[in-house]
Structures are given as structure tokens and as C-alpha cells.
Amino acid sequence: MRGMGLLIGVDLVLDRKTRERARALTAKVCWRCWERGLFLTFFSGSVLRICPPLVITRAQADRALSILDDSLADALAGRVPDSVLERIQGW
């Protein structure tokens, strides 16, 4: 994880030692978050960009983290189909 203030980047990798990028997983997590009402972007193929507004409330931040957690769990468990990758440009 890297960032400053409310601008945070979270690197998703397939292997912590080799740091092989998890491009498809990152795209699927972004897609599932979007389906649930949380807009994230990804860049470099494997970095989730989290950039909430400065006026975010604690309740909104908690909701966003819940959506992100559930979306990551869905993607890791295979509950996000590969077909979404065709709809996402630049992954």
C-alpha cells in the first residue's frame, strides 16, 4: 500500500515474493465495487486507486471498506466472471 492522505494506492499481486501483478484480479475487484456503488480506478494494471472526497464521513468510509472487502472476497472466490474483463478497457 502506498499513498498520502486520502489518496491511496493498493498493489494487488499474485505472489508477494515475485510481486507478479494481479491484473485480472484488480480489474474484477474494481468491477464488483462498481456494481455495488463504489467507484475505484486502477492503473499500472494492478494498483487500486482509492481517492475519497475530503468531506467523507466515517459511516461512508466504513461502507466503502465493506464494499471493497466483499468485492475482493468475491473476486478471489471466483464469483466475478472472466467475461467482465472484456468490458473493461486497459486492464
Residue 87 pLDDT: 87
Residue 23 has what DSSP assignment?
H
Q: For position 25, which CATH number holds?
A: 3.90.1150.10
**In this structure, what are the phi and psi dihedrals at residue 59, rounded to the nearest 5 degrees?**
-65, -40
Task: Give the chain's mean pLDDT.
Answer: 91
**Number of domains making up the chain:** 1
- Has residue 90 been placed in a domain? no
Q: Which range of residues forms the domain containing residue 29?
A: 2-81
What pLDDT, on a 0 to 100 scale, did the predictor assign at position 1? 66
Residues 6+ apart with CB under 8 A from 14: 20, 21, 22, 25
Is residue 89 a part of any domain in this protein? no
Q: What is the pLDDT of residue 90?
A: 60
